[in-house]
Amino acid sequence: MTENGTKLTEIERDALAEIANMGVSRAANSLRQMVGEQVLLSVPTVQIVTRQEASKLVERDNLKRLVAVQQSFEGPFGGRALLIFPEAQSLELVRSIVGDEHSLDDVIDLEQEALAETGNIILNGCLATIANMLHRTMRMSLPSIVRGDGAALFQSAGSAEQFVLFLYIDFNIKKRDVRGFIALLMDLPSIAALKEIVNDYVNNIQRQSPSHVG
Amino acid sequence: MLVKTADFVIGPVFDAVDIGLVLLDNQQCIVGWNEWIARVSRLSAEDVLGKNLCDVFTDLRSGRLPDVIDDAFQVGSSSILTHALNALLPLQGEGGERLLHNIVVRPVVSVSAKYCLLQITDVTTAVSRERLLRERQNARYYAIVDSAPDAIITLDDSRKIQWVNGSVDDVLGYGHSELLGQKIDILLEPENALLPILAKTSVHREMPTAVSVVGRYRNGNTGHFEVSIGHWRADRRDFVTTIWRDVTERVTADAALREARDALQKINEELESRVEERTRESEVALRQLHESQKMESIGQLTGGVAHDFNNLLAVVLGSLGLLKKAIPRDPRVSRLLDRAIQGAERGATLTTRLLAFARRQELKVEYVALQKLIPEMLDFLRHSVGPNIAIHTEISPDVCAIEVDANQLELALINLAVNARDAMPEGGSLTIACRNEVDGRAVGLAQGPFVCITVTDTGEGMNEGTLARAQEPFFTTKGVGKGTGLGLSMVQGFTAQSGGATRLRSELGKGTTVTLWLRRAREDLDMPTADAESPELVKARHLRVLLVDDDILVSMGAADMLLDLGHSVTEAQSGSHALKFLESDSAFDVVVTDYAMPGMNGFELAQRIKERNSKLPIILATGYAELPAERSIEFERLSKPYTAKDLAAALEKAVNS
């Protein structure tokens, strides 16, 4: 990575984590509405990595069978958003959302659609939050399910999307803990635009409370 | 997308698509409602156009759809709401069946305004196809697992039973749903090989895939099972599928087979040991038979030799006696004659013992009271054994009388005392004890009461080898010239001939006990009367004697004696010869006949004579006890070798009776 600003400063990282947490808590609200129980989503860390690094990160614990909900987006910045789980955890997530009363067979039947919708909710939540902050709209595609290892998830038809805004995400639904990742694949201008947005956000906060200057 | 057609085409297209299309304005009011949605919702466009969507379907307010539509307007997001996670619209198919559907919400931006398009997709077919597919797959799966003869049981990681196949009923006796949720432990004995395997996680790859366990049927009985174990992992959880095969019958059959084999082996071993025992027994019997055959042949040989020798001694003794009378009193000649007579007498004693061993001795059976006999001979015994040996007697007053030859019994006791003395060169004690025995079968004798006389010394004792040979004639442990080796043989022959037995028990260094088993006297046997007057030489009466003997030498000796006694003698060499003499001359006073003769023996002759002339006295001279016991009393008897004195006494007795 060159020093042309793909690295996040500490303040930028904190700010992005805050924005992401706002996004997932919005998604959590939607999920709670569906599940009828408390749903907690949190994003503990944020970083910008290359696609290769990202594919390694998602194969944590040597779990190479991954499933992802993918949506592309356009707007002030564009790219692809991925919500990624190890395959076994995806089923666990669906089970926790559709409820224990379903048999394993039913859960398998529902997995694809339920996962797509859940991913859709979470990714929309994040993207919508950013769009809201910008008072702009973004066009987002419908979700699709992708399966494969890290390299398969992060491969790209073009070479434009070089960078990945990589977020860990923790789900706590019905006392079950599920860990996954959110990855926003973006090209360099998009990253720059994102950083600009983040900096505006930071400046905005600093203007509102000057004592907070770090 | 560019549509170069006029607006009037868009309307029919909107109605022609095979999904539901609903177009909402930014107030969420319905501005488009195609025919497909009108058909499945049973609401025409006229009914709903211009109305708020949530007013048409009031249940929607509690769902996610209003927010999603809002998001589409506000931030341009596209969303999908699936039947899986949402309760959506009340739509029905042509047959009135509930339509499963998903709704895609997309923002639509035109030049003049923003809209939101809802695309409603019927997924009923897809869902039912998936279900059908799954059911078909499951049918194949269930066809396999339910037709399996073994019980198939799936457990979760807490050992709880998650799933069972239909065979659990046949194999374990449980109904299909009875086991679900139970712990597998209820199917197992507390100590088993399966639980430790289940306790480990699937990470342990080298775990066994099958174990043998003792399982429990529903009725509480136990059986043997081979359990195959398959670990699998799904949905982040560990599962174990176990396949239970009931092998109780096989195990039972194996056990029965093993038991039968063991029993057979045991029987074989028993048989072997019994065969060994029998072989040993038969060897012992054979050895005993050989021993008795040996003793028998030795006895016959000894008896034969002694008999002939006895006859010769009779001649020698008779001749010497006559010679002594005939020769004038020369002290030197008389001494020589006395020595010759003594030597011949000792020879006669020896042959008597040999005959005793051979059981061919002439026994004078009489009623003997041991309480009287033994004390009377103590002095003599003390004299025989010397002052170093103390003699004790233990004879209780109730010991019964016996029927034996008293002289032979005394001789036997003296022999035993002398043996005891020789066994105790340093001195010791000798005990003679008598007791009653109810039955002789314990020592192989006939049934009936016996009296035992035991002679016990405190001497050197004998080892096994010596003990085994002790009763053989001429076997002696005494130095050369010290003993004849006939002592015990005599005792043994005497007791056997008397219907009893001799038993030896000896321990090296502790002493020897000889037990004489002798028949108890019959109650009716006459008490001994006082002995007749001492035999005097009968010279007063002249007798005509018919002397019968096949041995000319013996006959001549006897004839000389008779002549010397003052009788007249006619000699016959055989029984028939003697009968001829009797036919031609009836004036004989007495017949003296040898017993053992070729052709007609002495007894037969005596009987023939008695048939003709029952009053003619007959004397049977014999060295044998060959006479039939029950008839022997009929005739007077004379033991060979005899002296002139014996002969005279016999004649006296025969003629006077």
Predicted structure pTM score: 0.48
Which of chain B's residues have a Cβ under 8 Å away from the Cβ of A105? 134, 138
Angle CA(A144)–CA(A145)–CA(A149) in degrees, nearest 5?
A: 135
Within an 8 Å CB–CB cutoff, is residue B202 touching chain A?
no
Contact B71 A124 (CB under 8 A): yes
pLDDT of residue B261: 93
ipTM of model = 0.82
Which of chain A's residues have a Cβ under 8 Å away from the Cβ of B107? 137, 139
Mean pLDDT for B310-324 is 84
pLDDT of residue B40: 92
Mutate: best of A120, A126, A138, A171, partner B, most B CBs <10 A: A120
Residue B530 confidence (pLDDT) above 50: no
Mean pLDDT of chain B, nearest integer: 82
Within an 8 Å CB–CB cutoff, is residue A75 touching chain B?
yes
- DSSP H or E stretch at residue B211: strand B210-216
Residue B487 confidence (pLDDT) above 80: no
Which of chain A's residues have a Cβ under 8 Å away from the Cβ of B128? none
Pairs of CB atoms within 8 A across A/B: 90
Q: Which residue on chain B is closest to A124 by alpha carbon? A: B77
Beta carbons of B560 and B319 less than 8 angstroms apart: yes
Of B76, B81, B138, the CB nearest to A137: B76
Mutate: best of A39, A97, A110, partner B, most B CBs <10 A: A110
Contact B76 A75 (CB under 8 A): yes
pLDDT of residue A139: 84
Distance from CA of B104 to the nearest CA of A (A): 8
pLDDT of residue B573: 87
Q: Which of A115-119, B365-369, B570-574 has the lowest mean pLDDT?
A: B365-369
Residue A214 confidence (pLDDT) above 50: no
Mean pLDDT of chain A, nearest integer: 80
Distance from CA of A200 to the nearest CA of B (A): 19
Mean pLDDT for B477-492 is 67
pLDDT of residue B528: 46
Query: Could you report the per-residue pLDDT of B192-243, keeping only the tens digit for each?
Result: 778 877 776 555 556 667 888 888 888 888 889 999 888 887 756 778 888 9
pLDDT of residue B5: 56
Distance from CA of A182 to the nearest CA of B (A): 17
Label residues B334-349 b or e (16+ Cβ within 10 Å = b).
eeebeebbeebbebbe
| Paired residues of B240 in beta bridges | B155, B231
**Residue found under tokens 């028998």:** B296
Mutate: best of A32, A140, A171, partner B, most B CBs <10 A: A140
Closest CA to B181 of B165, B159, B199, B201: B159
Which of chain B's residues have a Cβ under 8 Å away from the Cβ of A98? 84-85
pLDDT of residue B30: 93
Euclidean distance between CA atoms B38 and B30, whole angstroms: 12
Query: Could you report the per-residue pLDDT of B564-594, keeping only the tens digit for each?
Result: 888 888 888 888 888 888 888 778 889 999 8
Q: Which of residues 13-52 of A touch B (CB under 8 A)?
A: 30, 33-34
Mean pLDDT for A139-154 is 86
Query: Could you report the per-residue pLDDT of B15-31, keeping only the tens digit for each?
Result: 889 899 999 998 999 99
Q: Which residue on chain A is closest to B137 by alpha carbon? A: A105
Which of chain A's residues have a Cβ under 8 Å away from the Cβ of B236? 88-89, 91-92
Beta carbons of A168 and A43 less than 8 angstroms apart: yes
pLDDT of residue B295: 74
Within an 8 Å CB–CB cutoff, is residue B134 touching chain A?
yes
* B533 band by pLDDT with thresholds 50, 70 and 90: very low
Cis peptide leading into residue B641 (ω within 30°): yes
Query: Could you report the per-residue pLDDT of B86-142, keeping only the tens digit for each?
Result: 888 898 888 888 898 999 999 998 888 899 999 999 988 888 888 888 888 878 887
Contact A114 B75 (CB under 8 A): no
Within an 8 Å CB–CB cutoff, is residue B487 touching chain A?
no
Of A104, A117, A138, the CB nearest to B75: A138
Contact B77 A143 (CB under 8 A): no
Of B77, B82, B236, the CB nearest to A124: B77
Closest CA to B245 of B173, B152, B114: B152
Euclidean distance between CA atoms B424 and B396, whole angstroms: 27
Q: Which residue on chain B is closest to A113 by alpha carbon? A: B82
Query: Could you report the per-residue pLDDT of B55-76, keeping only the tens digit for each?
Result: 999 888 888 899 889 888 888 8
Within an 8 Å CB–CB cutoff, is residue A187 touching chain B?
no
Within an 8 Å CB–CB cutoff, is residue B235 touching chain A?
yes
3-class SS string, chain A: CCCCCCCCCHHHHHHHHHHHHHHHHHHHHHHHHHHCCCEEEECCCEEEEEHHHHHHHHCHHHCCCEEEEEEEEECCCCEEEEEEEEHHHHHHHHHHHHCCCCCHHHHHHHHHHHHHHHHHHHHHHHHHHHHHHHCCCCEECCCEEEEECHHHHHCCCCCCCCEEEEEEEEEEECCEEEEEEEEEEECHHHHHHHHHHHHHHHHHHHHHCHHHCC
Comparison of pLDDT for B646 and B119, the residue scoring more: B119
Mean pLDDT for B475-490 is 64
Of A113, A120, A139, the CB nearest to B79: A120
pLDDT of residue A75: 82
Of A89, A114, A128, the CB nearest to B82: A114
Which of chain A's residues have a Cβ under 8 Å away from the Cβ of B84? 98, 110, 113-114, 117
pLDDT of residue B632: 53
* B476 band by pLDDT with thresholds 50, 70 and 90: low
